[in-house]
Amino acid sequence: MLRILLIPIVLAAWYATSLSGSVLKPDQPVSRSYSDCLSLLDNNIWLDADRRISLCFYTDEHNVLLQFYMVSTIIGDILIYMIVAGFAVCINRKLNEQTYRLTERTAKMQRQLNIVLAVQALVPLFVAIIPCGAIVILWFYKINIPGAGVIISMAFSWIPVMSPLSTIFLVTSYRRKVLKFLMKSRIEPLSKSLTGTSAAQRASGTAEIYTATNIA
């Protein structure tokens, strides 16, 4: 079990190292005084020879080191998702083996949580990794689409939205509470209107009976 846990730790360290090295120092940076920057950025990755921090970074897309970092990042993403899928299969297999020990409600809740965790693992793939990959592909192949970068980067803002929504709508108890709250807010004005109409009808009927009695 310890060996299995060490695999994602090693991959995460390798992945972080590849990302940290993927930003190359430019030869002619557009820079500003380092005194305005945080001490957190006191790193040779960000600073040039004059200890100035660059406002932008650029390099040749044919640079072998850059291509290595790009490929290693893609491989790291694939391996991480393969590990997530492997753990999901192991969990489901273990639950199926112990079904007789769990109540029906507990087993159902566990399956729902597994689905939620799987969806939350896939959310960054569709709102972060694929958009980043699309931007890199457009850059490497010099595909010039006006506004494509802005439109693609808008997907990043959905990261904090999709994870809570997956929890709310995939877990039955949460979904019922939310739908009950939404339906209650719509039903209350309608019920008040129907109650007012019924009261008016009863009052009108009472008045008609009273008038008919007096005439008789």
Beta strands in 33-160, from DSSP E residues, in sequence order: 53-54
pLDDT at 30: 40
pLDDT at 53: 55
The C-alpha atoms of residue 29 and residue 160 are separated, in whole angstroms, by: 34
In the chain, where the domains are located:
1-23+39-74, 122-196
Cβ–Cβ < 8 Å for 15, 71: no
> Which of the residues in the chain have pLDDT under 70?
1-62, 185-216
Tens of pLDDT, residues 80-95? 888 888 888 888 888 7
Q: What angle do CA 16, 70, 72 make, to 5 degrees?
A: 60
Closest by CA to 155, choosing from 135, 136, 180, 170, is: 135
pLDDT at 18: 47
pLDDT at 34: 42
Closest by CA to 124, choosing from 161, 99, 172, 88, is: 161
Closest by CA to 119, choosing from 80, 85, 163, is: 163
Element (H, E) at 32: strand 31-32
The C-alpha atoms of residue 169 and residue 53 are separated, in whole angstroms, by: 45
Furthest C-alpha separation in the chain: 110
pLDDT at 6: 52
* Whole-prediction pTM: 0.51
58-84 as b/e: b if 16+ CB within 10 A:
eeeeeeeebeebbebbeebbeebeeeb
